[in-house]
Structure 1
């Protein structure tokens, strides 16, 4: 099942499975901004990553002496959310812990995801509540994929990635599925970055971020662009498939990252993990602006 919301010239479609954004469509110019999940390339649109971001070593972690197993990016993207509130331009979806989730993640939680259209874009909000009596450890992130090119007649290589603010950011290189934290360097994000498929030869480009951030996919040959912005996410990933050359680019705002090569497997010690006290909430959001 899906839910469609509208505001002005924009229309967004969200699936109950995974609370996944499936479409962001401009009805005036008939332009789709979200990747349409061609399984020959990548069969998803914009999965939500929870309760981990990235991969665990051997898909395994330890908590209070017990071993648990979670796949890359967690389980939320594969579970059906409940629609708990809906208006013309807004929808709120919810996932709560269950016997099924507790078998792999032993915390009582409530995850709410909302989508709200307005102006020239969409605001995506995450709210995580710890319903338990002990500290809860988690990560959460977005994985929206945008069509590149955005219009016919252009190529992936006709686009570039613009960073704001234009300054260097700490780059976290991947070695296999894991972060090689000891080899982090300053990445050249102080200038526009021309898109090529080869730039993803070693998987995603991952950077640390602080404060207000904005990342735009643009082309000198088109008036149409898409921008993702946020103010409370400590990491961002950029990804497309390789060696399969796919016509999309993911801009991924994260509160968490994959295990580092040095990870000891303890969830509470995981680099980038969020800690939420009993009966408290965590909130963050990002926005997608389109032209």
Structure 2
């Protein structure tokens, strides 16, 4: 367990996963074992969304890849590169076309193995600051590699009157639940506010949209995404790709500001 601390704030990270963020003794992150979801956070990479209707295949410039829902990154293990009292850096590396065992098979998937036809490295960094928590993502890989990125944190809710606010609207938790597994799209937003035990502001850099998901009233996932996958047929998921260009890394940021 990696722990970051500042006065009135504590962050707990278990092998790269944000499993706790306490502010003024209040836990903001959904706890494993509580109803709703078996994780606290994860990443969606190199694709977002389900693939079962496309026989788990995704088109790339190097041919078909086999991916399950939200990509194979979550099947890899993070390595801790650096840790201080207020900073932690983790990395995952992947070698092109390496077959990765799919943990969803056979119970929840018909694809026993997954692969991606590109090398990449994926760095996730945490920075605990006086005004909140900053999470950075750095993607390096081959020239022209396609990808999507989504960050999938789950926030703890303590009141049934929780409201999610954007510039245009206010969204209740029952409204999110009513959408079901597809997740509610919040397009063209780089900032969103969760009003619950605290007023929590989530701001992003590099992401295009958010989507919201929960099936229970005690948690909600507020997910920055580069592409909303349910906008297209699964066979056309490649239309939502970004691409690595010029041999440079792509950077994305998420800021969690508790007020």
Q: Same-fold call, TM > 0.5?
A: yes
Aligned-residue Cα RMSD (Å) equals 2.3
In structure 2, the residue matched to 1:253 is 224
**1:187-217: CA deviation from partner (whole Å, max 9, x where unpaired):** xxx232333266434331113215xx32111
What residue in structure 1 maps to residue 103 of structure 2? Answer: none
Structure 2: distance between partners of 1:118 and 1:127: 19
1:228 equivalent in structure 2: 202
Aligned residue-pair number? 242
Gaps of 5+ in 1: 150-154, 167-189
Q: Does the 8 Å CA contact 2:8/2:25 hold for their aligned counterparts? A: no
State the 1:35 CA deviation: 0.2
Q: For residue 137 of structure 2, what is the aligned residue in structure 1?
A: 126
**Within 1, Cα distance between the matches of 2:90 and 2:65?**
27
Identify if the C-alpha distance between structure 1 residues 198 and 238 changes in structure 2 by more than 3 Å, giving closer, same or farther.
closer
Deviation string, structure 1 residues 86-134 (Cα, Å, up to 9, x no partner) = 111001101111334696101111111100000131001000011x3x4
Q: Which runs of 5+ in 2 are unaligned?
A: 101-112
The alpha-carbon deviation at position 159 of structure 1 amounts to 1.5
Q: Retained in 2: the 8 A contact 1:200–1:240? A: no
2:191 to 214, 217, 237: 214
Partner Cα distance (1:44, 1:116) in 2: 21
2:80 is matched with: 83
Give yes or no for contact 1:50–1:76 (8 Å, CA) kept in 2: yes
**Contact 1:136-1:278 within 8 A present in 2 as well:** no
Q: Where does residue 69 of structure 2 map in the other structure?
A: 72
Query: Which has the greater radius of gyration?
Result: 1
Q: TM-score, with normalisation over the residues of structure 1?
A: 0.75
Q: Structure 2 matches for 1:1-291, cutoff 5 A?
A: 2-16=1-15, 19-26=16-23, 29-38=24-33, 40-56=35-51, 57-64=54-61, 66-98=63-95, 99-100=98-99, 104-130=115-141, 132=142, 134-149=143-158, 155-156=159-160, 158-163=161-166, 166=167, 190-196=168-174, 199-203=177-181, 204-209=183-188, 213-219=190-196, 224-241=198-215, 245-258=216-229, 260-262=231-233, 264-265=235-236, 270-277=238-245, 279-291=247-259
**8 Å CA contact retained: 1:260, 1:271:** no
Structure 2 CA distance for partners of 1:147 and 1:5, relative to 1, 3 Å: same
